[in-house]
Every structure is written in structure tokens, then in C-alpha cells.
Amino acid sequence: MRLDVVTIFPEYLEPLNVSLVGKARARGQLNVHVHDLRSWTHDRHHTVDDTPYGGGPGMVMKTDPWGDALDSVLADGYETGAREPALIVPTPSGRPFTQELAVHLSERPWLIFTPARYEGIDRRVVDEYAARIPVYEVSIGDYVLAGGEAAVLVVTEAVARLLPGVLGNAESHRDDSFAPGAMAGLLEGPVYTKPPVWRDRGIPEVLLSGHHGRIARWRRDEALRRTTANRPDLIERCDPRAFDKKDREM
């Protein structure tokens, strides 16, 4: 997969060199290009923003630097064989970024991120590229960040770990919270490792029983308990057929 990020803070994307995403890059599973938007400005002050039409607070990112940057990134990618680009526009007004969207994006070969600062990018930029390529406007949650760069890190990590061969073991995302399947939409319960006693705290006896059926039942009960406490909305949205008689006794 190829990723391009156009930003006025290229250093904000340095975490892309670390950990899972960094290793995926080093192994050639991810081809990442971070670009400084200001290299597509032509004035002495490298201006990327201006006052909003219609008035109001804050500044709006200008059309020309973004248009020139995106044309150049697209041309460069195509030249090197990249195909089927999609634009990812991080914005608090976007559609919610979910595991389902992460899975969908992980199946695309080329993602171009446009994290904005200030009050966002002139709308004509998004409209222009939406007429040419798929555009996904995404929000990572119901709060406001100072810019989209942190959202790029979030989306990139969620997507990269789904790429073939990036996680050590293919089963690693089978039980992810939000993954389809046996734990259908429930949050994961608690986990434990050695030592068996720490500061007088033991671990749930069932985990030492070696009884796989009882362990699976316990994990499901814990997942239900945690989901009910932290995300009752997820329980509401579950297919009632996903629950068995023992669930209903909880």
C-alpha cells in the first residue's frame, strides 16, 4: 500500500517511523511519503491560509497550495506505478472512522491524506478531487482537534495492522473488539499473564482450568459485562440472535 500525507507539520508524522507502522515501512509493506504543503507556495511568507468569505473567526486553507500539492502527488504516484488513489480528508465534520471503514481502506492500494489546520480547507479543493477520485471525509471522534495530523496517525495505524503480513499472527485481529464473528461487536474483556499472584492479586481460577469451553464462556461473560458498562449503545445495536440464554442471565 502507498500512503501520501500532505501537511504543514511534516515532523508531526514522525511516529510513522516507529513500532508497527515503522516496521511495515521497513519491510516494504507500506510505502509512505510525507510532503510539506508549504513547498507548493510561491510567496515569501509561504502562505497557506486566508480569511473566510462571509466573515467569522479563524482562517481557511487556500485552494492553490492544496491543488498544486495534490496534482503533484497524484502525478508522482502514477509515474511510479501507483493506481486507484483515494483521498482521505480528516475533519470533525466527516463520517465516523470505524473498524469497518478501516477494513475497507486497508483494501485500497493508495491513500492520500490531507490533514488541515485552522478552520479547514476551501471546499472547492475537496469538490474538485471528489469529481476525479474517491474521497473519504473522516472524523475520529466527537471532539475537536487542532488539526488532522493526529487523526492521520490514528487511521494509518488502524489500517496498517490489517495489511497482509503486518501482524505476526493472522488470528490476531479475529477477536478484536468490533470484529465480526463469535464476539460479535462486543468489547474485549480483561487479560492476564505471569506471575499467577502479584501484590496478593490472583487471576480468575477458570483461566488455569484448562477447560476451553468454560474459558470461552468466561471470556464472553466478561466481554458482555464490560460492553454493558462502557458502551451500552453497542449492546442496543447487536442482533438479538447474537445472544444466547446464558447471556440473558447476566
For 49, which DSSP code? Answer: E
Among residues 92, 106, 157, 167, the one that binds ligand 6GU under rule CB under 6 A: 92
What span, in angstroms and rounded, lies between the C-alpha atoms of 224 and 96? 24
- The least CB distance from residue 40 to ligand 6GU, in Å, is 21
Among residues 86, 145, 163, 207, the one that binds ligand 6GU under rule CB under 6 A: 145
What span, in angstroms and rounded, lies between the C-alpha atoms of 52 and 38? 20
Residue number with CB closer to ligand 6GU (120 or 185)? 120
Stretch that binds ligand 6GU, among 25-33, 51-59, 105-113, 140-148 (CB under 6 A): 140-148
Number of H helices, E strands in the chain: 8, 7
Flag whether 143 is marked binding. Answer: yes
**Window 147 to 206, contacts with ligand 6GU (CB under 6 A):** 147-148, 151
Length of the chain in terms of residues written: 250
Stretch that binds ligand 6GU, among 86-94, 128-136, 173-181, 234-242 (CB under 6 A): 86-94
Residue number with CB closer to ligand 6GU (144 or 191)? 144
Q: What torsion do the CA atoms of 68, 70, 76, 77 make, to the nearest 10 degrees?
A: -170
# residues contacting ligand 6GU (CB under 6 A): 12
- CA angle 143-146-147, nearest 5°? 100
Q: Which helix (H) or strand (E) holds 88?
A: strand 85-96
- The least CB distance from residue 73 to ligand 6GU, in Å, is 19
Stretch that binds ligand 6GU, among 5-13, 98-106, 146-154, 191-199 (CB under 6 A): 146-154
Return the residue matching grid coordinates 460492553.
227
Return the residue matching grid coordinates 483461566.
207
Other C-beta atoms closer than 10 Å to the C-beta of 73 total: 22
Flag whether 145 is marked binding. Answer: yes
When asked if residue 85 is in the footprint of ligand 6GU (CB under 6 A), the reply is: no
Stretch that binds ligand 6GU, among 87-95, 184-192, 215-223, 232-240 (CB under 6 A): 87-95
For 97, which DSSP code? Answer: P
What span, in angstroms and rounded, lies between the C-alpha atoms of 5 and 153? 10
- The annotation places the binding site for S-adenosyl-L-methionine at 140-145
Residues that bind ligand 6GU (CB under 6 A): 90-92, 139-141, 143-145, 147-148, 151
- The annotation places the binding site at 140-145
